Chain A
């Protein structure tokens, strides 16, 4: 008999882990506010945060108008993508699933590509200038919504969940083909605008936009928190879940709807941010050593936010003038973390 056992973390040690993550999150948040194109002393940042007086009103506005919204966006994006990735990995019982497997971000990308690439450069520049980022947000949302509707219609008829996974991948391929065609025929400046959008950005979200994004993510996360019990049963597969009394159709609709709200909104406001959604669920499973979603959801929210903020800090490091694309940074930071955890634990796969 093998005697190698993992020590089961008790309820207390789960709380300790959560506490450590919260502390880490707070420290990184302050650090994130500190980095930027204008150097503001840490003392002043703390003063501004606590509502105290500072020498320069400019500093206050940089922190409150730019850096705080960016920090909030990072937390929202990290949480939303991680939590929806967790849901997708469970419902499809596939460790490689992520928030985008349903084709949500592909739909959003197509919407954005249609606007940016199909308009002539002059019209588009004016158009985008007048309406601001809202145009892109709206078309991305519409694109994600159309994909969601397609998935809903199929999932009501299809018994085997894997069919939906394949459909999502097909949808993704089809939309990226259309985007390629659009890219081929569009001019250079438009192409660059689109490519930059695909690299993702946390800094483009204004305070006004945040007042739309934050409630959307809030609703999505509440829906996921309400599905914790269902997700636990879905670990056993849909047959077992059904025999435990679950209404599979309702469960699928709830999970797909919340994933679309979460991944669709983040893609709309920040562009398609990769990697976080696939890696963070695995990282939080390794940290909390449990398969209970009622714990893992909180784990994903904390770990997702931490990695996203850390990525944002790294993306500002090259200098005070340039910012690296967040999409590349999340991958470059995430891969070593996951590699380290694989080597340390020898267990990342869903199927052990």
Chain B
């Protein structure tokens, strides 16, 4: 299998400071990223995600070892040429009044334009394509500050597209976004890697999203970096090792983490269908010990047809019209 490496790390140590004061965060990294790969960097706060991303983007010096980008050592690139290879988006939110969306994206053309930064026809073409790619053409003339968080993140991504680099590095692009936007932004990155052949390295806290979109995960745990396809890391229990701490457990079949709940009074649950499934989840959340389709002292019958719940407690039956009503009835008891 031939490998087209876009980025390789060789015996790389990263961290802060210099001389005797230097503090290494991760050391002896030997890794590579393929061209067109979407790679998610996962790890707890302070594990060195940002430091690694900043080092690969040339914003921070390596402590030892090498970062090789497109076949050339990172310090052998001139700043201007490097800006045509790697684009970077930080976690920092940009708040600039009177800055138009189009002008912000046009800043991506910085390494390609002349001293005065005048845009040529080709530069305008890149800006328009970038706007289209992130689905924001209709907001081109708006002011950046008046956009929603999700829209702003799209514009920051469009800026990297205008920069026209084969590699994009992003530090937590989904942080601070609401749930739909988190999924949409992550999927946008997936599309860019597939449709534009971009090599994208991004850090993310939402493991579920990373597992759904990324080709590969770099997992930092306990000062070690472990890599593999998301599914590999589930099967070899590395993800569980990293995250299943402090009572957090992992459901290997659904691929989800959960907090195991106490089991109190037992309730017999009768019925079937989706209303039944969600009633079971609700009762477990309320810390009941749910027995499915068995009889008991306390029973809940899910009537999927009439959209009703019949709770029987000590031979008294109460009919409820919602799961919330049911939960109140059971709490009284």
Contacts and interface: CB of A to CB of B under 8 A. Distances in A.
Interface of A: 2, 4-6, 8, 226, 228-229, 232-233, 235-237, 239-240, 242-247, 285-286, 288-292, 294, 347, 349-352
Given A5-B146, A232-B117, A243-B87, A292 B79 contact: no
Contacts of A226: 115-116
26 contacts: A6-B143, A8-B100, A229-B116, A233-B107, A237-B94, A239-B88, A240-B107, A243-B57, A243-B58, A243-B87, A245-B79, A245-B80, A245-B83, A245-B84, A245-B110, A246-B79, A246-B110, A288-B98, A290-B98, A290-B99, A291-B96, A291-B97, A291-B98, A291-B100, A351-B97, A352-B96
Contacts of A290: 98-100, 103
Interface string B107-130: 110110101110000000000000
Interface string B197-233: 0000000000000000000000000000000000000
Contacts of B103: 232, 290-292
Nearest to A242: B59
Contacts of B143: 5-6
The 10 closest A-B pairs by CB, nearest first: A245-B83, A229-B117, A291-B99, A245-B111, A244-B110, A352-B145, A243-B88, A351-B95, A245-B80, A8-B141
Given A236-B94, A240-B90, A245-B110, A294 B59 contact: no
A351 B79 CA distance: 29
Given A226-B115, A242-B59, 18 more contacts: A6-B143, A228-B116, A229-B115, A229-B117, A240-B94, A243-B59, A243-B83, A244-B83, A244-B107, A245-B81, A245-B82, A245-B83, A245-B84, A245-B111, A290-B103, A291-B96, A294-B116, A352-B96
Contacts of B111: 244-245
A250 B291 CA distance: 72
B326 interface: no
Nearest to B142: A5
Nearest to B139: A5
A5 B59 CA distance: 36
B86 interface: yes
Contacts of A229: 110, 113, 115-117
B178 interface: no
A159 to B, nearest CB: 10
Contacts, number: 98
A339 B115 CA distance: 37
B92 interface: yes
A318 B80 CA distance: 57
Contact of A244 (B90, B92, B145, B163): B163
Contacts of B83: 243-245
A339 to B, nearest CB: 17
Contacts of B86: 243
Max chain B Cβ within 10 angstroms of own Cβ: one of A228, A243, A290: A243
A239 B59 contact: yes
A87 to B, nearest CB: 15
B97 A285 contact: yes
Contacts of B82: 245
Contact of A236 (B81, B87, B107, B146): B107
A350 B97 contact: yes
Interface string B125-151: 000000000000000011101100000
Nearest to A351: B95
Contact of B97 (A2, A240, A246, A352): A352
B76 to A, nearest CB: 15
A235 B92 contact: no
Contacts of B98: 285-286, 288-291
Contacts of A246: 79, 110
Contacts of B141: 8
A243 B56 CA distance: 11
A251 to B, nearest CB: 11
A350 B96 contact: yes
A96 to B, nearest CB: 14
Contacts of A294: 116-117
A285 B100 CA distance: 12
Contacts of A232: 103, 107, 117
Interface string B22-65: 00000000000000000000000000000000000111000000
A332 to B, nearest CB: 26
A308 B266 CA distance: 82
A289 B80 CA distance: 30
Contacts of A289: 98
A64 B122 CA distance: 51
Contacts of A235: 94, 96, 99, 107
Max chain B Cβ within 10 angstroms of own Cβ: one of A226, A237, A240: A240
A6 B88 CA distance: 29
B116 A244 contact: no
A351 B94 CA distance: 8
Interface string B300-330: 0000000000000000000000000000000
B107 to A, nearest CB: 6
Contacts of B88: 239-240, 243
A247 to B, nearest CB: 6
A245 to B, nearest CB: 3
Contacts of A4: 146
A236 B88 CA distance: 12
A123 B221 CA distance: 75
Contacts of A247: 79
